[in-house]
């Protein structure tokens, strides 16, 4: 074999190295680049997840305006006893919002509903700590709507002054003592003031005295001390509810008075303070009047929630 000259050999070696470098480095980089996986496009899946609305709805159930419920009560009463004067208020005491309202500020005859004021006045005079005899007497006056007890306490504690004191204590704005001081049943109260009285019982009266009132109202007898059937209105119109009531009834030359009032609930608690005050046309029978007020109470059911 012929030996290449040294210069030519060196040149050949240099060319070979260059070729190797050119052949390996760029091509390898290119192939590496070609083999590098293409990045997955960003879809911001986190944002999509966090902005997706929940599957459960948060839309509150539709509510009926209190004035509309009040009109339903009025129409129900008027359908049985046309021409009846009506005052209605029902308030959710947990929210303070009215759920039914009609003519709520009009003073109307209380009949025996005023016994609540007689009882509160006596409890207040004893610093909300009645003795056992007083507690029993007040419970009976309320649960049996006992007129004899009411007569005695009315005379004993100052008659019309009882109403005046309670207007100041409770903050009543539509309550007036009777024109004839001997006739406590002719005291006037608006439906608003009756509801305010229930709110006062619930929120401001200490437990010992409060229990006397609520026990009497929760144990209201079906037959009152005078023989009247006092389950008209709330008890008969809202079956299945829990209630603590004070009813009122009275015959005057000008009108027949029937009032159904109390605390009402669809479960074990009684969050609704209710007053339906009625003055029916003169000569309206007890049966017709009771049926009318019961129909009105039944119309309130649409305003209550569990």
Q: What is the pLDDT along the chain (306 residues), one digit of tens a residue?
A: 434 444 434 334 443 443 343 344 443 334 333 444 444 444 444 444 555 555 544 444 557 899 999 999 999 999 999 999 999 999 999 999 999 999 999 999 999 999 999 999 999 999 999 999 999 999 999 999 999 999 999 999 999 999 999 999 999 999 999 999 999 999 999 999 999 999 999 999 999 999 999 999 999 999 999 999 999 999 999 999 999 999 999 999 999 999 999 999 998 899 999 999 999 999 999 999 999 999 999 999 989 986
How many C-beta neighbours within 10 Å does residue 171 have? 13
Helices 132-143, 207-218: crossing angle, 10 deg rounding: 30
- Output the CA torsion sign for 217, 223, 226, 229: positive
CB-based burial of residue 242 (10 Å sphere; 0-12 exposed, 13-18 middle, 19+ buried)? middle
The helix (run of H) or strand (run of E) holding residue 178 is none
Task: Catalogue all structural domains in the chain, each as residue range(s) with its CATH number.
Answer: 67-303 (3.40.710.10)
CA angle 91, 169, 175 (to 5 degrees): 65
Contact 287, 306 (CB under 8 A): no
Q: How far apart are CA 218 and CA 211, in angstroms?
A: 10
């Amino acid at each position: 074999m012929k030996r290449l000259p040294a210069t030519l050999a060196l040149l050949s070696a240099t060319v070979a190295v260059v070729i190797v470098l050119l052949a390996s480095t760029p091509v390898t980089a290119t192939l590496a680049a070609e083999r590098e996986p293409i990045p997955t496009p960003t879809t911001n899946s986190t944002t999509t997840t966090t902005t997706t609305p929940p599957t459960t709805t948060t839309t509150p159930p539709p509510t009926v305006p209190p004035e509309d419920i009040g009109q339903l009560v009025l129409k129900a009463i008027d359908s049985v006893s046309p021409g009846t004067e009506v005052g209605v208020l029902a308030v959710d005491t947990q929210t303070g919002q009215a759920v039914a309202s009609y003519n709520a500020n009009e003073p109307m005859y209380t009949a025996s509903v005023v016994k609540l004021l007689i009882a509160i006045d006596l409890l207040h005079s004893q610093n909300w700590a009645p003795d056992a005899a007083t507690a029993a007497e007040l419970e009976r006056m309320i649960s049996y709507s006992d007129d004899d007890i009411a007569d005695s306490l009315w005379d004993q504690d100052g008659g019309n002054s009882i109403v005046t004191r309670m207007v100041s204590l409770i903050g009543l704005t539509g309550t007036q003592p009777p024109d004839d001081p001997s006739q406590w049943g002719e005291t006037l109260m608006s439906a608003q003031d009756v509801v305010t009285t229930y709110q006062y019982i619930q929120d401001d009266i200490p437990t010992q005295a409060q229990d006397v009132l609520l026990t009497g109202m929760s144990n209201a007898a079906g037959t009152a001390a005078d023989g009247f059937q006092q389950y008209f209105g709330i008890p008969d119109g809202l079956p299945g509810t829990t209630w603590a009531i004070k009813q009122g009834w009275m015959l005057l030359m000008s009108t027949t008075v029937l009032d159904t009032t109390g605390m009402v609930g669809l479960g074990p608690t009684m969050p609704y303070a209710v007053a339906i005050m009625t003055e029916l046309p003169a000569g309206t029978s007890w049966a017709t009047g009771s049926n009318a007020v019961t129909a009105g109470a039944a119309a309130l059911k649409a305003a209550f929630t569990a």
